[in-house]
Chain A
Amino acid sequence: MFIPFLAREREAEMEQPQLGCSGAEAILNLPPSSSISIAYHPLFGPHDDLILLELDEKLLPEVLQQRITLRGQPDEDAVLCTRSKTYAVKFVGTSNSVFLIPPSDQSEFCENSLDCIGKDHDQQVVASVIKVAPGNMELVEVAPRLDKLKLLLSVNPYRFGEDIEMEDLEETEKSYTGLYKWDDLVEQVQASDEELRSALKALSAVEIGGYWRIVDDKYMDTILSMLLHDSVLNDWSLDLLNEDEVVSMLESDGFPQKLARHCLHVYGTKVDENVDKRVWRLDERRVCVHFAREILKEGKRKMDTFMVKWMQKIPEGMRASFDMLEGEVLTERLGVETWVRAFSVSSLPSSPAERFSILFRERPKWEWKDLQPYIRDLKVPGLSSEGLLLKFTRRTQPTLDAEPVFSAR
């Protein structure tokens, strides 16, 4: 095989401008019938600070616009976040020799060109290998790790009267423990900005004085009850609540404006906004669920007494039905009585393994209609809900027309 030799002769005839060192571009654009010498770079070494990250072409624009971040505490596995998604970062090693060759104008390694022109007597084009890469990082889309968010915000919920206390205290005396600004949350929680935002919304968190807070249940109950009370007094329709009226009335009742508005956000939906006035409709389900939770806070109740108490609490014009409590309560028969108790899906962890483990500790066997409300919010990228069931449950069906029953694997 003399091809390399022949090729070199031809190249020697042609070579004029690009003498000496070159880099990646010389390899990638190597003209036919030519050759290039490959050498270890003057700065060749392990270069652990150079990392290869494989990512989808469609994520490149986000990289160029500097929207990519790595998030995690030192004791957590880092995740990579784009604006809307979260990815686990995995190292994939290789047993091949992967010679990494920078372009010749890479500023970090530029002493290169001076170094080797002198040494290369025959002025052959040389491309230099800066390191042998042991592998690269890969991305796997994962569900955002949001349980920590709930944990952080639950430490110091916003309580009734706090706004007044805050005013009384000197700036320096305020306790900031368990208080988080957006930037603090981003440092703490492994989720993309969009995922974090929607999680805050799902937790009914509100930004008060720059800090993201969840509001104490009892306080929310007080505001909602006052709002309902005001609507009776003022003859407001719960389907057409004027935001300005409601908020100023609640303010005169002694609630901060921020919390009054928050109450509308938590229990209401904005009605079509083609008018100047912002109008809200209270959401029947959310209001009814709220009162059911309040009743069951102290523990389980007999079904009959629960229903009576619940109906008493439901505001005029709303109808509560037991279906609304899917994913909120469990019923169980003890003797002749049926009992109801709170068991809210929102209190369960979001990782499927932990979720199923708690569910099966709660009940060893689940019928599909009972189980479904407790797992429908689980989302694992790349795994369907059937896949989840297959992975975490055992399905039994005593007879063909019987309801399937799920138990732990």
Chain B
Amino acid sequence: MQIRVKCNCGEGNCPEWAILELQGAVEAQPSFQGRLQNLQIGILCRPSSQEVYTFTVGYHELTGSKVSLKKPLLVLKKTKHSDPDHEIGEGDFSSRVELEVIGVIRHRILFKTRPKAIISKPQPAMKERVGMPGSVVSNQTA
């Protein structure tokens, strides 16, 4: 079978998505597990005009930089239609799969250092948030 990759971006204007990448995993406090929606992960900050960023998650601060990907990443969305008109062959349930390009990724902000503990008291910026999740970076591998 054949799946044509659809793309309605036209003229090279695929919407650009972003990636924030860090080593290890971010773990929410147990009380939030399973319902992460809307929860704040942290604050991304660009302190200067350089492409250097900090990402503050709970009491941890990560430092990283914006890097261009060597090769772009396409964001594809897979849709399954059950389409009775289109039978592929005998006994073949034809659930037609469609793939559509919905975005492209050219940059990521990569944090590859170990998190630094923020020793001072929790920052006001974090404190005043409603439902402060207090996410914690657990750095599994360095």
- State which residues 63-108 of B face A: CB under 8 Å: 66, 69, 71-79, 88, 99, 101-105, 107-108
B104 to chain A, nearest CB (A): 8
Which residues of chain B are near A61, meaning CB under 8 Å? 12
Which residues of chain B are near A38, meaning CB under 8 Å? 20, 40-44, 55
A82 to chain B, nearest CB (A): 10
Question: Which residue in A33, A49, A100, A103 is a CB contact (below 8 Å) of B19?
Answer: A100
Known: A27-B109, A119-B38, A187-B1. A102 touches B103 (CB 8 A): yes
B17–A24 CB distance below 8 A: yes
Which residues of chain B are near A68, meaning CB under 8 Å? 4-5
Which residues of chain B are near A39, meaning CB under 8 Å? 38-41
- State which residues 1-50 of A face B: CB under 8 Å: 1-5, 7-8, 23-25, 27-28, 30-44, 48-50
Q: Complex formed: what's the CA distance from A114 to B44 in Å?
A: 22
Q: Complex formed: what's the CA distance from A24 to B116 in Å?
A: 25
Q: Complex formed: what's the CA distance from A31 to B116 in Å?
A: 24
B78–A106 CB distance below 8 A: no
- In the assembled complex, A321 has its CB within 8 A of some CB on chain B: no
- In the assembled complex, A240 has its CB within 8 A of some CB on chain B: no
Interface stretch (choices A52-60, A284-292, A363-371, A385-393): A52-60
Select the residue from A3, A4, A33, A122 with max chain B CB neighbours within 10 A: A4
A53–B15 CB distance below 8 A: no
Which residues of chain B are near A169, meaning CB under 8 Å? none
Residue of B nearest to A60 (CB): B72
For the side of the interface on A, what is the size category?
35 or more
- In the assembled complex, B2 has its CB within 8 A of some CB on chain A: yes
Which residues of chain A are near B78, meaning CB under 8 Å? 48-51
Known: A51-B78, A64-B10, A97-B26. A1 touches B16 (CB 8 A): no
B46–A35 CB distance below 8 A: yes
- In the assembled complex, A312 has its CB within 8 A of some CB on chain B: no
- In the assembled complex, B47 has its CB within 8 A of some CB on chain A: yes
- In the assembled complex, B140 has its CB within 8 A of some CB on chain A: yes
Which residues of chain B are near A194, meaning CB under 8 Å? none
Residue of A nearest to B11 (CB): A64
A103–B37 CB distance below 8 A: no
Residue of B nearest to A53 (CB): B74
- In the assembled complex, A305 has its CB within 8 A of some CB on chain B: no
Known: A55-B71, A64-B12. A103 touches B39 (CB 8 A): no
Which residues of chain A are near B38, meaning CB under 8 Å? 39-42, 115-116, 119
- In the assembled complex, A214 has its CB within 8 A of some CB on chain B: no
A5–B36 CB distance below 8 A: no
Q: Which residues of B pack against A, CB within 8 Å?
A: 1-7, 9-12, 14-26, 36-50, 53-56, 61, 66, 69, 71-79, 88, 99, 101-105, 107-109, 116, 118, 120, 123-125, 128-130, 140-141
B7–A5 CB distance below 8 A: no
Which residues of chain B are near A129, meaning CB under 8 Å? 20, 41
A63–B5 CB distance below 8 A: yes
| Apart from the given pairs A49-B78, A63-B7, 19 other A-B contacts in the complex at a CB distance below 8 Å | A4-B45, A7-B47, A8-B125, A27-B18, A32-B49, A36-B45, A38-B43, A40-B36, A50-B78, A64-B7, A69-B5, A70-B2, A74-B1, A96-B22, A99-B19, A99-B22, A101-B20, A108-B77, A136-B73
- In the assembled complex, A95 has its CB within 8 A of some CB on chain B: yes
Residue of A nearest to B61 (CB): A1
B125–A119 CB distance below 8 A: no
Known: A3-B47, A66-B4. A53 touches B77 (CB 8 A): no
B130–A121 CB distance below 8 A: yes
- In the assembled complex, A349 has its CB within 8 A of some CB on chain B: no
B73–A37 CB distance below 8 A: no
A50–B77 CB distance below 8 A: yes
Which residues of chain B are near A52, meaning CB under 8 Å? 73-76, 105
| 5 closest cross-chain pairs (CB), A and B | A24-B18, A35-B45, A32-B49, A99-B20, A68-B5
Which residues of chain A are near B21, meaning CB under 8 Å? 96-99
The 18 listed contacts between A and B (C-beta, < 8 Å) are A1-B118, A4-B54, A23-B18, A24-B18, A27-B18, A28-B18, A37-B40, A63-B74, A64-B11, A70-B5, A71-B3, A97-B21, A97-B24, A100-B19, A106-B103, A115-B38, A136-B73, A187-B2
Residue of A nearest to B66 (CB): A28
Q: Complex formed: what's the CA distance from A51 to B59 in Å?
A: 32
Q: Complex formed: what's the CA distance from A31 to B25 in Å?
A: 27
Which residues of chain B are near A98, meaning CB under 8 Å? 19-21, 108
- State which residues 286-327 of A face B: CB under 8 Å: none
- In the assembled complex, A256 has its CB within 8 A of some CB on chain B: no
Q: Complex formed: what's the CA distance from A53 to B39 in Å?
A: 28
